[in-house]
Amino acid sequence: MQDLLELAVSAAASGCIYGLVALAYLLMIRPTGIINFAVGEWAMVASFGGFIFLTKYEWPYPLGMAVVVAFMMVVGWATERIAVRPLVERGAPLLAPILALLGVLVVTREIISVSFPPDPLPVPFPFGIGRIEIGPVGGSYQSFFIIATTIAVFAGAWFFSRRLSGEKVSRRSR
């Protein structure tokens, strides 16, 4: 039983990572109608950013993460400006920006693969390496951190989209 619960925690933590990437897809496709195939690659870019700031330069975790998040916002903004907006503004068919984003995927992947060695690159955990046991449920600090972060992000996204759709409804009813 203990084994099963431990596995559940660790598997949930891995699943949460995929869940967060899936949410990113959803958040982009819902309002824009364009699927961004480069989202997975962006997650990868962010991980390598984490490696650079947290492992290579050994910045404190909150600062390093803040820089990575800010950097990813710039990446997202630049992609929209360079690859998506010019096409949409000139009335290209819907498929065009999708293919352009596919191109962004390839470019991003190749840049990373030529810039970093094939060795495993570790990134430090925010709370170090340790284990929490809550009754029969046991897992690493990192697993619980990932699960808690994911829940927070999903809850935030849910409130955000509810508020947005609420506004839409009230506008329509006017």
**By the criterion CB under 8 A, which residues form the site for other proteins?**
3, 6-7, 10, 14, 118-122, 124, 128-131, 138-140, 142-143
Separation of alpha carbons 50 and 121, rounded Å? 10
**Between 11 and 94, CB nearer to other proteins:** 11
**Between 10 and 161, CB nearer to other proteins:** 10
Separation of alpha carbons 114 and 120, rounded Å? 15
**Between 54 and 100, CB nearer to other proteins:** 54
Least distance between other proteins and beta carbon 170 (Å)? 46
Least distance between other proteins and beta carbon 140 (Å)? 4
Separation of alpha carbons 42 and 28, rounded Å? 13
What is the DSSP code (8-state) at residue 150?
H
Least distance between other proteins and beta carbon 144 (Å)? 11
Check if the beta carbon of residue 153 is closer than 8 Å to that of residue 19.
no
User: How many other C-beta atoms lie within 10 A of the C-beta of residue 16?
Assistant: 19
